[in-house]
Structure 1
């Protein structure tokens, strides 16, 4: 695995384009994205105001009764992403997946757990795994070992539903 230049947060037109899915969730059309994306509603670390971002779901764990055990998302632009920094300050948030809304708490995965998760994801979804790694600036050959190494450098967040 080779690390290329890490991507920077988009600005201008690209940022506006990437934020367009938020409007679809506001119009109650989040179901169009299925379970591949979620709307994360979180608090700003300084302002305390509600912020929203649409993120791709890397992993979705379910417990036996069909209730979600957590959604895992990746910080594609690293730890400088506003949503990531906001969750470190205020780990409680809300997600909307499809038409379902759930209160969650952020759990930041360690490097080994991130490596294991990416190795599993890359072998189960090779095309998506390659795309995810390329988007984040990693050159991988498609092997589990390469995906694992890339996963050690990616910051993953598990969003666990708040029970009760």
Structure 2
């Protein structure tokens, strides 16, 4: 027995709709940046980081807060691009992989971005799903809505980026 009853389908669908809207709400998604800049990133725990990247066209510093889905080693963090390859932060780190990251109340730390090949992405996603099955059950449909395509067990269509801290 799992203990907690499953959510009714109607409630689960509403939860997915709310999560999808939240991912698309620019103001809501940018709110954590203020907290990271105030050195309050510790409020988000170890599952979040703030990424500073350079706009590929403007050259302006840009910021986004992302969920860490895996830590393959102590000097690296893996994140997912919930909007696929069309996410601006993703396009910017492809163009310029030299970034800075804030973790908890620490930062900025220099890092290098690496787009993960499918086999390593599948391994990272598998670890995340096994550690956080409830979060994945809720977020998978929301991510599929924002991506516009299904996500299989290997994470197909779900771009992942590994940030490796400088000096590791």
Could you say which TM-score interval applies, normalised by the shorter chain? Answer: 0.7 to 0.9
Instruction: Return the offset for 1:139.
Output: 6.4
Moved over 6 A (4+): none
Q: Which has the higher strand share?
A: 1
Which of 123, 127, 138 does residue 131 from structure 1 map onto? 138
What 5-or-longer segments of structure 1 have no aligned partner? 1-6, 63-67, 141-145
1:36 aligns with 2:43: no
Which of 115, 118, 125 does residue 111 from structure 1 map onto? 118
1:74 aligns with 2:80: yes
Instruction: Return the offset for 1:110.
Output: 1.0
Q: TM-score if structure 2 supplies the norm length?
A: 0.77
- What are the within-5 Å matches in structure 2 for residues 9-158 of structure 1? 10=24, 14-62=25-73, 68-101=74-107, 102-137=109-144, 146-148=152-154, 151-158=155-162
Q: Which has the higher helix share?
A: 2
Verify the 8 A CA contact 1:112 1:152 in the aligned structure 2. Answer: no
Q: CA RMSD in A?
A: 2.1
What 5-or-longer segments of structure 2 have no aligned partner? 1-19
Q: Deviations over 1:17-67 (max 9, x none)?
A: 1110111112221111111111100100011111000111111233xxxxx
